[in-house]
Structure 1
Amino acid sequence: MKEIGTVRTLRGNNAEVEIKRNSACGDCGACHVSKDQSVMLTTAKNPVNAKSGETVEVEMQFANVFVAAFIMYGIPLIAFILGSSVAYYLVGSLNLRWDQVLTSFFTGISLTVIAYLLIRQVDRQGRFSSKYQPVIVAIVEKKETIPTPMEKRMGN
């Protein structure tokens, strides 16, 4: 998955890159950019030593996009389903006088929150950031671009 962006700031071996949302972008939400926003900021590895203000080509391995999406959405979903199912079964089989449906729902929600907190903690430790981080692969010449309909509407 390749995108063209502009380097905004440098941070050691990384660069903060502003990428304009293109017309092929859907509404998957992977980039956390709403329909009303025309740009997103990302931190990318900078092995080509791009300077601030340069236009660059940023790449993220397609397989890594799916793995990152699974980490952020799949693991919490599995935690919710597993928590709800186990709680539903346990409340029913142990003859507890708790509401079986509500207990299983809140257990599932609780495990989903715990899964997100664990993912956040692991990410802060740096286990995800380097492997799933985009990489600047080339510095490109800035060309005259034709604004997309969204950019025209946004006044960019």
Structure 2
Amino acid sequence: MKEELLIEEGIVSRSLGKFSEVVLEDVTDCTECSARLICKPRGDDKKIIVAHDPFGAAPGDKVKIAISGSTIFKSAFLLYGLPVLIFIISITAAYSLEFMFPGDELTSFVIAILITGVYYAFFSFASKKFFNFPNPKIISVSRAKLNY
């Protein structure tokens, strides 16, 4: 079975050893792209991504990066889907345990928010240790030409 790969082009802004910081080229399709979850916009609306660099790209080099669609799906589920499920289950459970929490819907809502917050705190601390998602990878490099 063939895996879907999303390929983007960009320019290396910084070399970080085995990784490089890549500024992605500005395209109009970013608003509808599912890969925008892994991009981090800066103040000047440039999208930056840290990619595994097996080629040793230098700042200024034009590169192509690739990431699998399944990685994006897993990330989106852990960041958005699972918290929604946790919120719905916890608000339902808190509301059904009304005899323990003699409040109203507001109490159930606050409890659900707190439980969802605990999930996000756990996820932020444990994501690098337990969830080993592969980084995007540089698949080709066009070396920058130096003008002397």
User: TM-score by structure 1 length?
Assistant: 0.76
Give distance in 1, aligned partners of 2:7 and 2:124: 26
2:93 to 86, 90, 98: 86
RMSD (Å), alpha carbons: 2.3
User: TM-score by structure 2 length?
Assistant: 0.80
Question: Which stretch of structure 1 is more off in the superposition, 25-34 or 45-54?
Answer: 25-34
What is residue 122 of structure 1 aligned with on the other side?
126
Give the letter for the 1:113 counterpart: G
What is residue 3 of structure 2 aligned with on the other side?
none
Percent sequence identity over matched residues? 26
Runs of 4+ in structure 1 off by over 3 angstroms are 31-34
Is contact 2:15-2:58 (8 Å) kept? Answer: yes
Give distance in 2, aligned partners of 1:19 and 1:95: 52
What is residue 66 of structure 1 aligned with on the other side?
73
SS at match of 1:26: helix
- 1:134 shift after superposition: 0.8
Is contact 1:68-1:132 (8 Å) kept? Answer: no
Question: Which stretch of structure 1 is more off in the superposition, 81-90 or 24-33?
Answer: 24-33
Give distance in 1, aligned partners of 2:22 and 2:45: 14
5+ long unaligned stretches in structure 2: 1-5
Map Cα deviations across residues 45-91 of structure 1 (whole Å, 9 max, x no partner). 00122122100001110111111111111121122111101101111
What is residue 137 of structure 1 aligned with on the other side?
139
SS at match of 1:25: helix
Give the letter for the 2:85 counterpart: I
- Number of aligned residues: 136
